[in-house]
């Protein structure tokens, strides 16, 4: 016999549905407190780990920003990375970024409105003082100028290779399918790494996928990281990039996956 639901039962069911709908966000953890760089360590080319004499990475208005106003002379390849303290294996990482201002004097042409987040990277303590980029998988962020196609959320592979479209892929940078995003707009990026499968998402759109991140045995920086002939990279560091154009990051969060 049909029995109508009591109002309290309806309320309980509604509350349960709300909890289930909200559950996916309950495991997101912020990697940035919005006030300090606690938990993050800079590595600038030519400087020791932890030194950043020109205050390249700093916090302003609840954002991690990359600035070059204290640099003297040409940029001269002083690339930098800001490393988070913990290494991760399976996760979803999300953040927002935007480019601002003008490129610093002496910055290479290819680095105009160019930055990124490095994932599955080598430990910061193993990077040489004059090493330009950590051995890692780079999720490359590019900004447009309104004059042509320049996708973002691309794949770059400093010291690494991947399996892409079913084959070992040794090309250094591979464009995603994202649209060109001009101006100083905020862009939402998400990177999912699960059991060796990588997926980049830009503003809610999946733009590139690939598998089996691995050390490149022909790369000088990667050679020292190869142990017992093992090339596959199952975990690593996360770092934000400084490549000569001012950029800002906010809402940096991670969700660990099984």
CATH of residue 54's domain is 2.60.120.560
- Distance from C-alpha of 160 to C-alpha of 191, rounded to nearest angstrom: 17
Classify residue 180 by its DSSP letter. Answer: P
Report the chain's terminal Cα–Cα distance, integer Å.
44
Residue range 67-96, pLDDT digits in tens: 999 999 999 999 999 999 999 999 999 999
9 to each of 22, 59, 169, how far by Cα in Å? 20, 48, 56
pTM for this predicted structure: 0.89
User: How many domains does the chain contain in total?
Assistant: 1
Residue 62 lies in a domain: yes
Residue 129 lies in a domain: yes
The answer, yes or no, to whether residue 173 has pLDDT greater than 50, is yes
CA 60 to chain centre: 19
* Structure tokens given for 173: 């940078």
pLDDT at 26: 63
Domain of residue 78: give its range.
Answer: 29-256
254 to each of 96, 174, 175, 257, how far by Cα in Å? 13, 25, 24, 10
Sign of CA dihedral 137, 222, 64, 103: negative
Residue range 139-158, pLDDT digits in tens: 999 999 888 899 999 999 99
Residue 12 lies in a domain: no
Residue 231 lies in a domain: yes
Instruction: Tell me phi and psi for residue 197, to 5 degrees.
Output: -100, 130
pLDDT at 146: 80
* Residue keyed to tokens 């390249």: 56
Contact 245, 80 (CB under 8 A): no
Residue 3 lies in a domain: no
* Residue keyed to tokens 């990124």: 116
């Amino acid at each position: 016999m049909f029995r109508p639901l009591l109002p309290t039962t309806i309320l309980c069911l509604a509350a349960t549905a709300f909890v289930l709908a909200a559950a996916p966000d309950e495991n997101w953890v912020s990697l940035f407190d919005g006030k300090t760089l606690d938990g993050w360590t800079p590595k600038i080319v030519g400087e020791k780990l932890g030194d950043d004499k020109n205050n390249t990475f700093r916090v302003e208005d609840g954002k991690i920003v990359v600035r070059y106003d204290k640099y003297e002379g040409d940029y001269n390849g002083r690339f930098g990375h800001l490393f988070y303290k913990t290494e991760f294996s399976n996760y979803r990482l999300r953040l927002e970024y935007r480019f601002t201002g003008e490129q610093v004097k002496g910055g290479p042409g290819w680095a105009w409105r160019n930055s990124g987040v490095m994932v599955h990277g080598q430990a910061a303590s193993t990077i040489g003082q004059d090493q330009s980029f950590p051995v890692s998988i780079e999720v490359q962020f590019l900004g447009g100028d309104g004059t042509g196609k320049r996708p973002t959320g691309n794949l770059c592979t400093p010291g690494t290779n991947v399996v892409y479209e079913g084959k070992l892929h040794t090309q250094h940078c591979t464009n995603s399918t994202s649209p060109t995003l001009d101006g100083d707009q905020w862009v939402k990026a998400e990177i999912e790494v699960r059991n060796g499968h990588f997926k980049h998402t830009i503003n809610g759109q999946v733009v590139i996928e690939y598998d089996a991140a691995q050390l490149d045995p022909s790369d000088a920086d990667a050679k020292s990281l190869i142990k017992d002939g093992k090339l596959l990279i199952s975990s690593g560091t996360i770092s934000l990039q400084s490549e000569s154009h001012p950029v800002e990051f906010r809402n940096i969060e991670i969700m660990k996956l099984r």
